[in-house]
Amino acid sequence: MVVRIGFLTPWRTDDPGAWSGIIRPMLGALADVADVVPVSTHDVPAALLDRAAARLSRRTYLWDFGLATARARGRAAAARLRAARVDVVFAVAASVDVARLGGSVPVVQYVDAAFDDLKDRYSVFTGLSRLSAMQVRRIGALAARRTAGYVAASQWAADGLVRAGADPARVVVAPPGAAILPRTAADRAPATSDAAAGGPLRVLVVASDWERKGGDRALDAVAQARAAGADIALTVIGSAPSLPDDVRAPGRLTADELSAEYARADVLLELARANAAGVALTDAAAHGLPAIATGVGGVPSIVAEGRSGWLVPDDAASSAAGERLAALARGAEGGVSRASAAAWYAEALDWAAWGERVAALCLRARDEAVR
């Protein structure tokens, strides 16, 4: 019997950019192996009580994570799920929707990080008022009671869920696939780098959040590699501040344009200070682009050391990455290539495998609920 899954999320399911662009491929991967009904609460406004609390609070109060809003979103989600007649709910970034969901249909949550692992590491969760932090934790606890199983985006996320009280036997690690896939087979195929042909090493930085993504550390790493004699051509895409004149900065790009940048680069440089999953890292792997990344958060589940790239320590990110860049510019790839990065993506990060894992957990939750 095919399981009927209600794909519950506060994001718009028809928006190609929703949640860093992975909502639509998630839906597609599940729809390939199950009967999936999208259910979104994006149109349910935050409760007036939570909006008032946000205005009156001297520190950050997240009205979208308030208990009054959770009640409103839970009521709306429950009504929509009943109308869809689903067997199981797959809740994506939807702890607020699940906290007051009610009903008896089993819930499987997709989580990229536990709250305590995000607090003060991501700007949205920095400087919270005590009341807001208390409500976020309360929502997490209520949602956990309603949850039959978890899909964790990384081993780091899984460990955080277990520390928060989740049963390890009900947590499945399934890293997400890419938000941007290669436009053509040629964009995925192994390529010879300019550095190998005597040209500069083409380094790509994609930083939507300059401070958290370590944009400053990336610039420092490139400077150190150049000081060691490396010939580097640097491209920076995203929310960068003023940049040196020799940095190529093409500005805001479409998905196809960014895909072309992944295809033409020799290495992605992402020295993030905090990273739950790292969509740019997954996109890079899908294009066969090796990455140099700090081994923080969920990154070690995305970047395979010695296969799809290299992990550097957070406390020495710039210097370690600078040394690696200098070695790459000399042609010392250490067994990592576009072919090995693409092979890692196909083995561990492909959406098809993700969909199979999620559907299997949803089926298990459904079967246990009807026993």
Listed in sequence order, the residues at least 6 apart from 227 whose beta carbon sits closer than 8 Å to its beta carbon are none
CA neighbor of 366 nearest in space, from 2, 83, 99, 36: 2
Residue 205 backbone dihedrals phi, psi, to 5 degrees: -120, 125
Banded model confidence at residue 151, pLDDT cuts 50, 70, 90: very high
Share of the chain above pLDDT 70, in %: 96
Helices (H) and strands (E) in the chain, counts: 15, 11
Arithmetic mean of pLDDT over the chain: 94
* pLDDT bucket at 362, cuts 50 / 70 / 90: very high
- Residue ranges, comma separated, of all CATH 3.40.50.2000 domains in the chain are 4-177+350-370, 185-348
| pLDDT above 80: residue 360 | yes
Q: Which token pair is 201?
A: 């090493």
109: left (phi over 0), alpha (psi -120 to 50) or beta: beta
pLDDT tens readout for residues 241-295 = 889 999 999 988 999 999 999 999 999 999 999 999 889 999 999 999 999 999 9
* Those residues with Cβ within 8 angstroms of residue 224's Cβ, 6 or more apart along the chain or in another chain: 318, 319, 322, 323, 325, 326
Terminal Cα-to-Cα distance of the chain (whole angstroms): 15
pLDDT band of 370, cuts 50, 70, 90: confident
Beta-bridge mates of residue 310:
292
Least confident span in 80-89, 197-206, 285-294: 197-206
Angle, CA of 118, 119 and 122, to the nearest 5°:
65
What pLDDT score does 241 carry? 85
Q: Per-residue pLDDT tens for 155-185?
A: 999 999 999 999 999 999 999 999 999 987 6
Give the 3-state secondary structure of residue 123.
helix
Q: Which residue has the tokens 């996320």?
A: 157
Amino acid (1-letter code) at residue 353: A
| DSSP calls for 345-365 | IIIII-HHHHHHHHHHHHHHH
Answer whether residue 326 shows pLDDT above 60: yes
Distance CA 131, CA 128 (A): 8
Which residue is it, tokens 């028809």?
A: 14
CB 124 within 8 A of CB 209: no
4-177+350-370 is classed in which CATH architecture? Answer: 3-Layer(aba) Sandwich (3.40)
Distance between alpha carbon 218 and the CA centroid of its chain, in Å?
20
The pLDDT, as a whole number, for residue 175 is 96
- Identify which of 346, 363, 282, 352 has the alpha carbon closest to the alpha carbon of residue 30: 352
Q: Which residues pair with 38 in a beta bridge?
A: 7
Element spanning 268, H or E: strand 267-270
Q: Which of 324, 261, 266 is nearest to 293 (CA)?
A: 324
Give strand pairing partners of 150: 109, 171
What does the alpha-carbon distance between residue 113 and residue 348 come to, in Å, rounded to a whole number? 19
Is the pLDDT assigned to residue 188 strictly greater than 70?
no
Token reading at 262: 């992944």
Query: Where does the pLDDT of residue 212 fall: very low under 50, low under 70, confident under 90, or very high at 90 and above?
Result: very high
Neighbours of 296 (CB within 10 A): 22
For 116-143, write each residue's pLDDT tens digit.
999 888 988 999 999 999 999 999 999 9
- Pick from 152, 144, 142, 79: nearest CA to 113: 152
Whether residue 195 is predicted with pLDDT greater than 80 in this model: the reply is: no
pLDDT tens by residue, 9-56: 999 999 999 999 999 999 999 999 999 999 999 999 999 999 999 999
Average pLDDT of the residues in 67-76: 98
Cα–Cα distance for residue pair 156/129, rounded to 1 Å:
26
Q: What is the pLDDT, as a whole number, of residue 196?
A: 57
Looking at residues 320-341, what average pLDDT do you find?
94
In this prediction, residue 194 carries a pLDDT of 55
pLDDT tens per residue across span 41-54: 999 999 999 999 99
Q: DSSP class of residue 7? A: E
Mean pLDDT of 61-84: 98
Map tokens 């040629």 to a residue.
186
Does the domain made of 185-348 have the CATH classification 3.40.50.2000? yes
User: What does the pLDDT read at residue 190?
Assistant: 47
* Average pLDDT score over residue span 94-99: 98
- Residue 284 CA to residue 203 CA, distance in Å, equals 12
Q: Which tokens belong to 360? A: 């299997």
| pLDDT for position 1 | 55
